[in-house]
Amino acid sequence: MRWSLALICAAMVGCAVGNKPCPDDLESFEAAVHTPVFAKDCVLCHVEGGAAGSTRMVLAPSDAPDRVERDLATVRALAGEVDPNGLPLLLSKPSGQHPAGHGGGRIVQVQGEQWVALEEFVGWSTGSADDCDLDPDLDAICADGAPGPRVLRRLTRAQYDNSVRDLLGVPSSYGASFAADLRVDGFDNDAAALIVSPLLADQLRVAAESLASDAVDSRLDELLPCEPRDGEATCAADFIETFGRRAFRRPLTGEEVGRYHALWRAVRSQDGRFEDGVEWVISSMLQSPHFLYRSELGARQGEGFVLTDYEIATELSYLLWNTTPSDALLDRAARGELSERDTVEAVIVEMWDDERSLAVLPGFVDQWLHLDQLALVTRDPDVYPELTRALRGQMKGEVDRFVAALAAEGGTLEDLLVDKRSFLTRELADHYGVSWEPGPVDLEGFREIDLTGSPYGGLLTQGALMTTHATPTSSSPIHRGVVVRERLLCDDLPPPPPNLDTSPPPVDPSLSTRERFAQHTELAECADCHDRIDGIGFAFEAFDGIGRYRTMDGQHPVDDMGEIKQSPSSDATFQGVDGLAGALLGGDDLQRCYARLWVRYGFGQDHGALTCAADDVAAGHDQGQLPLAEGPLGLLRTRHFTERTGEPGEASVGWLKPGERFDPGEDPDGGGGGDVELTIEINNDWGGGYCADATVDNRSDGSVTWSILHDVGGNISSIWNAKATAEGSMVRLEGDDWNATLAPNEVASFGFCVDRR
Amino acid sequence: MNTTRRKFLATAAGGVLAAPFVRLLGPTAAEAASGQAKRLLIFFSPNGTIPRLWKPTGSGGSYRFGDGSMLEPLQGLEDDLLVVGGLDFYQATNHEGGMGAMLTNGTGPETSGLSLDQYVAAQLGAGTRLPSLELGVLTSAWGGGVQTRMSYGTGGVLMTPDDDPKNAFTRMFGDIAGGEEGVQRLFARRQSVLDLHRDELRDLHGRIGAAEQRKLDTHLDSLRALEKQLEPLGDVCEPLGAPTGLDSRANDQAPDLLAAQIELAVQALACDLTRVASIQFSHTVSPTSFTWLGISEGHHSLSHAADGTAGVADFVKCEQWCAAQFAALVQRMKDTPDPDGEGSLLDNTVVVWTKEMGDSRAHVCTDVPFIIAGNGGGAFRTGRYLDMGGISHAHLLVSICQALGLSNDTFGNPDAGRGPLSELA
């Protein structure tokens, strides 16, 4: 449908679709889309003879006089096409979301400025836009600080383990072994990428069953809020309410308590033990969507949605502590303290001051600078026998302690890059060649060391960064230049074009590393990108492939003159890492980039308007003076902290009204009388019918083959683990072969569904 | 939860399931010649190739794998193989493009972006315990992404391979034995848990936007797959042992991990637990070091080594090792009877070794090497080396589908070309 509209519109100049005019406005195309997107990034490959020269999008060469016109015709012909997910091709390809990939990788950020421009263009070309305004008015979006859309955020693998530990009081390493999630922008917590795949569903089931079993075996007394002997059914309901509130991070409705209570009762009746039922309730809750997904859905308020107090508690807890909210925090949510600006400020300060927040910065830095790969990067043991597994662990330990300490004492981005203190082990100090003063060390052998007078100081000199970004046999100006370019300046680079020999230059003792790597910038095809990369990477040449300081590279004196080019505000030439740090701190890019990536990481989405929010955070401080803590804490001052957007058809979360309190009913083996007792628990009622779990309990002293006439209020549409025969308006219920005859106190469980007459 | 009711014989560390778990193929077993294959097994190894060191000598029905070539370990299996060169990926290039296009050929009206295994599984997988089985070796250290995944499900969902043989074993056989009342009860409970979560997901579904609904649809699909595992399987086969003592994240254990996954894939097919299996060894831009061959440089770096360097010699060694693993897989399929009692497993299965690029040094997806093992129930004529001279690999994907009895005429982007590779028959 859209496709044909596009063709019609592309073929006719100034045509109209419905009442919407589509003027053939070359100028606005050039300004809004061509210059910032197609002519900037796409044309590098999408040009005759280029890497994407055989695709359907071949743009005109940059010196063609009718370039803009030709390009408009080319891209407009594609504007109506959608990928299998219904996303326009012009959005899904460059953003790397197309199922078949994009040869050039991910060029455009979802909901970023280029995305918005392309989206407007597609709308314009296909006649689906409200008007033909091609100018994505980001200023307007920024001015009103619009929040991002409502989302369900599946727990990351680490959050699963932390949450289980806090819920059950038993350690979990299951999450760490779950199927790896799609990484987006280097982060493992993108809301759109975190799904429950078939493999993960299976892993979650195995983990939940095993964890529930362990918890009931070892910690049942602590988990129960009541004494089962005072009334099992009531105690089970109490447990479901209290544990459920912690697992789902909000109170359960009466109906929800009823669902889990029916599960408890069925298991209790079959297995005969109170705790067996509890075990299945725990196992089931750990697989529930209400546990697995953090709700950021909120309640409708006007055109938008406002997060509930419980959702705010959840957001705060996972952002600052990376785990499920504590009982105390949930209590505050219950009192409405988190949706009030005055009271929530105090809560945030208190949570930030708690030692559980110490892991926030290390967790971010780990993924920010790809240090999570440090344990895995390949290093040739013949070239670097010193790099043991233990030493890698200590490098990681240094970064963790360094950034946590800085964040806690109000350290800034400048401190992150230039601070002359660090935390080293004896072995790491020896590795760096810095002097080690004996003194007290922490449990893992680290102590704070003053590095004044040594070439070390600041994150950029630390072994973790230098070792992660190197080749198996040498330092690598390219790897180091790329990480600075992409992660400190937020300038994403396209992958190398095909048909080029991109093999790293072989080790050649007659050349220095710098000389070997310098050769490829001489090739024209490589120069554009490597201009942006190598000058930065060369500044690290005084640090070898495992982070040791050196003045000689083999037989060549180290040359660590560096240069930043093609950056909006940080261009400079300098010497060494200290000079690079100075250049980075002298521009705005680093600070903006840090704030932007925190938005990405903290909110798990990258909506265009959120970028503006990040810029606001960065702009409030002089260059380099943004406190590291403002990464997470700055997020809590944006509208997105408490608000979300949604479409008109979307509705508030379903648990706002608790409904009637659940009545736990009689104990399975209490009350009674008579030979056999039938208990029916309706677990799903849609008006026109219902489904129920039922038990038959033999209360007599002898064996009984049961047969019960009962009015179910309709016709049985399905029944399992028992048989049903209609007798007038009643139904006769009898056991299957294996549960027809019950010993004293034995219970048969079955279920059925009924269509009401 | 008392789910561990059976005692498997644990094999020694190293995890290879040594003993045959089903009867070996007897001398009287008949050749199957139904003209149609029943099963599909995909084997992947990364980082392209160096064409001149890969190509067999000779052509057509008289070819051989040269001494010292990357495929030397396949010597002796020539009659079972159909070596196909000269196939290009349409509109795809480089590591990531190749990984995405290899099993999809982009997208089109017929396949909607599904990869070959998922497309086939959607049509052949409904009756089996697992619609498809994705096994991997060292595929996930970089997380999921276009570099690390080759299999695509509905809506572009990445199908994550299971890197842990022990876990895969449990999914395959975990609860089917011991069919006592206890198991019946356990399954009934799991069923009620699934039903409960389905209700919860449906409650949520109606309140949220389209993108979030898709997320819950995926979740519901996953629950359906779990439900499938609650169906009794019968007495098709008896597994002998679960792989033990393996660390699925350890580079140096790659040989044992791959051997275990090969064995599991063969078991899954031989027990008819699935009709579609894949084994993904590492991923494109693989950093795996073949340390067990005494090579410390990463595989990706070696794949780009310039001619005349030691790196090329090491790359050839790595590729020969991969070829030897493929040879072992083919031999294992030959030695295992088909569960339907007709011929060997290999006789009724399309086994295909795929790569994501052609010449690794040029980062191109032209002249990408493919090797088919087994005659696909008579659909393919093995014992030949064909050079297709540069047509789209879409034709090969169509051929494989048709060998499996499907009727599609295109695979992925129809612009790449229609119809099968008639030369294969």
Lowest mean pLDDT among A25-39, A318-332, B24-38, B170-184: B24-38
When scoring B208, B288, B392, B413 by the number of chain A Cβ atoms within 10 A, the one with the most, hence best to mutate, is: B208
Taking the C-alpha atoms of residue A354 and residue A346, their distance in angstroms, rounded to an integer, is 12
As a whole number, mean pLDDT of residues A336-364 equals 95
The answer to whether residue A75 scores a pLDDT higher than 70 is: yes
CB atoms within 10 A of CB A163: 26
pLDDT at residue B344 in the model: 93
Report pLDDT for A404: 96
Q: A149 contacts in B (CB within 8 Å)?
A: 209, 211
Q: Are B151 and B103 in contact (CB under 8 A)?
A: yes
- Residue B341 and residue B32 in contact, taking contact as beta carbons nearer than 8 Å: no
Q: Which residue has the tokens 């949570």?
A: A351
Searching chain B, which residue's CA lies closest to the CA of residue A287? B197
A165-203 burial by CB neighbour count: b if 16+ within 10 A, else e? bbbbeeebebbebbbbbbbbbbbbbbbbbbbbbbbbbbb
pLDDT score of A521: 67
Handedness of CA B255, B260, B261, B267 (dihedral sign): positive
Question: What's the residue count for chain B?
Answer: 425
Q: How far is CA A243 from the centre of its chain?
A: 25
| CA–CA min distance A578, chain B (Å) | 31
Whether residue A518 contacts residue A478, with contact meaning beta carbons closer than 8 Å, is answered with no
CA-nearest of A97, A117, A120 to A185 is: A97
Enumerate the residues of chain B whose CB falls inside 8 A of the CB of residue A471. Answer: 301
Which residue among A97, A105, A498 places its CB closest to the CB of B363? A498
Provide the pLDDT for residue A142.
58
Is the pLDDT reported for residue A499 higher than 80?
no
Q: Which residues contact A5 (CB under 8 A, 6 or more apart)?
A: A17, A80, A126, A127, A128
Mutate to test the interface with B, among A46, A56, A199, A476 (most CBs of B within 10 A): A199
What residues 489-548 of chain A have any CB closer than 8 A to a CB of chain B?
A: 495-504, 506
What is the average pLDDT across A283-301? 97
Give residue-wise pLDDT tens across range A221-237: 999 999 998 899 999 99
CB pairs A-B closer than 8 Å:
248
Of B95, B193, B412, the CB nearest to A287: B193
Cβ-based neighbour number of residue B35 at 10 Å: 13
B9 pLDDT higher than 50: no
Residues present in chain A in total: 757
Closest C-alpha among A566, A494, A483, A607 to residue A107: A494
* Higher-pLDDT residue of A360, B1: A360
Give residues 727 to 746 of A whose Cβ lies within 8 Å of B.
738
d(CA B284, CA B104): 16
For A54, which residue in chain B has the nearest alpha carbon? B91
pLDDT: which is higher, A568 or A267:
A267
Task: Determine the distance in angstroms separating the CA of B102 from the nearest CA of chain A, rounded to an integer.
Answer: 9
Question: B287–A378: do the CB atoms touch at under 8 Å?
Answer: yes
**Predicted confidence band of residue A550 (pLDDT cuts 50, 70, 90):** very high
- For chain A, how many helices (H) and strands (E)? 28, 22
Facing residue for A202 by CB, picked from B152, B226, B364: B226
> What is the percent of chain A with per-residue pLDDT over 70, rounded to a whole number?
91
Residue A495 pLDDT grade (very low, low, confident, very high; cuts 50, 70, 90): low
CA distance A434 to A427: 10
Q: Do A471 and B301 touch (CB under 8 A)?
A: yes
| Cα angle B92-B97-B103, degrees, rounded to a multiple of 5 | 85
- Check pLDDT > 90 for residue B405: yes
**Hey, which residues 316-355 in chain A have their CB within 8 Å of chain B?**
none
Residue type at B253 in one-letter notation:
Q
Best of B151, B363, B368, B393 to mutate (most A CBs within 10 Å, chain A): B363
Amino acid occupying residue B358: G
Q: What is the pLDDT of residue A18?
A: 32
Longest Cα pair distance anywhere in chain A, in angstroms?
Answer: 101
Instruction: Kindly determine whether residue B216 and residue A152, on different chains, have CB atoms separated by under 8 Å.
Output: yes
Residue of B nearest to A85 (CA): B155
Question: Exposed, middle or buried: residue A303 (CB in 10 Å: 0-12, 13-18, 19+)?
Answer: exposed
Q: Using a CB-CB distance cutoff of 8 angstroms, which residues of chain A are in contact with residue B113?
A: 83-85, 98-100
* Cβ(B165)–Cβ(B265) below 8 Å: no
Q: Is the pLDDT of residue B63 over 70?
A: yes
pLDDT at A1 (0 to 100):
24
Q: Is-contact A82 A45, C-beta < 8 A?
A: no
How many whole angstroms separate alpha carbon A553 and alpha carbon A508?
11
Residue B234 confidence (pLDDT) = 61
pLDDT, averaged across chain B: 86
pLDDT category at A25 given cuts 50, 70, 90 is low
Residues forming beta bridges with residue B354, ordered by sequence position: B44, B370
Reply yes or no on whether the pLDDT at A244 is more than 80.
Answer: yes
Q: Quote the CA–CA distance of B279 and B287 in Å, as a whole number.
A: 18
Of residues B345, B372, B399, the one with CA closest to residue B74: B372
Whether pLDDT at B222 is above 70 = yes
- Cα-atom radius of gyration of chain A, to the nearest Å? 32
pLDDT for A53: 78
Contact (Cβ atoms closer than 8 angstroms) between residue B357 and residue B284: yes
Q: Which of A54, A196, A653 faces B91 most closely, judged by CB atoms?
A: A54
pLDDT value at residue B181: 67
Helix (H) or strand (E) holding B193: helix B181-205
Q: Nearest-CA neighbor of B37 among B405, B411, B332? A: B405
Please tell me if residue A748 touches chain B, with a CB cutoff of 8 Å. Answer: no
What is the average per-residue pLDDT within B295-311?
Answer: 86
Residue A269 phi/psi, 5-degree rounding, is -70, -35
Rounded-to-integer distance, Cα B303 and Cα B49, Å = 7
Q: Which residues in chain A touch residue B210, judged by CB atoms under 8 angstroms apart?
A: 647
Q: CA-CA distance, A698 to A421, in Å (whole number)?
A: 74
Return the ∠ at Cα A589 (arms to A585 and A592), rounded to 5°: 105
CA distance B39 to chain A (A): 21
- pLDDT surpasses 60 at B273: yes
What is the per-residue pLDDT for B8? 28
User: Among A74-83, A280-289, B51-60, B393-402, whose mean pLDDT is lowest?
Assistant: A74-83
For residue A182, what are the CA distances in angstroms to A68, A520, B143, B149? Answer: 37, 32, 6, 10
B145 chain-A contacts, CB cut-off 8 A: 182-183
Burial of A242 (0-12, 13-18, 19+ CB in 10 A): middle
C-alpha closest to that of B306 among A506, A325, A75, A304: A506
- Do B222 and A197 make contact, defined as CB atoms within 8 angstroms? yes
pLDDT confidence of residue A15: 31
| ipTM value for the complex | 0.77
What is the average pLDDT across A186-190?
Answer: 92
Residues of B in contact with A290 (CB under 8 A): 200
CB nearest to B222's CB, from A51, A196, A502: A196
* Residues A152, B204: C-beta atoms closer than 8 Å: yes
Instruction: Give the three-class secondary structure for B232.
Output: coil
Token digits of residue A229:
């002997």
Among all chains, which residue has been given the structure tokens 């309410």?
Answer: A241
Mean pLDDT of chain A: 86
A625: nearest Cα among A414, A419, A361, A406: A414
| pLDDT at site A6 | 29
CA closest to B224 among chain A residues: A198
A interface test, pick of B197, B252, B292 with most A CB neighbours within 10 Å: B197
The pLDDT of residue A578: 96
| B-proximal residues of A, 452-481, CB under 8 Å | 471-473
**Integer angstrom CA distances of residue A305 from A150, A214, A638, B35:** 8, 40, 15, 60
The residues that bridge with B43 in the sheet, in sequence order, are B279, B353
Q: Which residues of A touch B301 (CB under 8 A)?
A: 471-472, 503-504
Report the pLDDT averaged over residues B135-147: 89
How are the residues of chain A apportioned to helix, strand and coil, as percentages rounded to the nearest 5?
45, 15, 40
Q: Which of A135-144, A500-509, A620-629, B16-25 has the lowest mean pLDDT?
A: B16-25
Alpha helices in A224-273 (DSSP H): 232-248, 254-271
Amino acid residing at A675: D
What would the pLDDT profile of B331-362 be if each residue is shown by its tens digit?
A: 999 999 888 877 899 999 999 999 999 998 88
CB-nearest to B94 from A100, A284, A495 is A495
> Smallest Cβ distance to A195: which of B96, B157, B208?
B157
Q: Please tell me the least confidently modeled range out of A253-262, A373-382, B56-65, B274-283.
A: A373-382
Asked if residue A239 has pLDDT above 90, the reply is yes
CA dihedral A167, A171, A177, A179 (to 10 degrees): 0
Closest partner residue to B156 (CB to CB) among A99, A209, A283 is A99
How many Å apart are CA B100 and CA A495, to the nearest integer?
Answer: 15
Pick from A96, A105, A196: CB nearest B218: A196
Longest dimension (CA), chain B: 67
Residue identified by tokens 């997105």 is: A640
Cα B53 to Cα B72: distance, rounded to the nearest angstrom: 10
Cα–Cα distance between A456 and B375 in angstroms, integer? 63
**pLDDT at position B71, please?**
97
Query: One-letter amino acid identity for A731?
Result: V
* Best-predicted range by mean pLDDT (A146-150, B133-137, B165-169): B133-137
The closest alpha carbon to B363, from B320, B287, B304, belongs to: B304
Does A3 have pLDDT greater than 70? no
Task: Please tell me which residue, B256 or A272, carries the higher pLDDT value.
Answer: B256
Per-window interface: A 369-398 vs B, CB < 8 A = 373, 376-378, 380-382
Q: Nearest to residue A614, comparing CAs of A97, A108, A184, A112?
A: A112
Judged by a CB distance cut-off of 8 A, whether residue A747 touches chain B is no
Say if residue A16's pLDDT is above 80.
no
- For residue A101, is pLDDT > 50? yes
Q: What are the residue ranges of helices labelled H in B291-309? A: 299-303
Bridge partners, A229 (sequence order):
none
Interface contact B164-A177, CB threshold 8 A: yes
- Cα separation of B142 and A180, whole Å? 8
Phi, psi of B259 (to 5 degrees): -60, -40
Q: What is the pLDDT of residues A422-463, one digit of tens each?
A: 999 999 999 999 999 889 999 999 999 999 999 999 999 999
Across the interface, whether the CB atoms of A652 and B141 are under 8 A apart is answered no
Return d(Cα B70, Cα B339) in angstroms, integer.
33
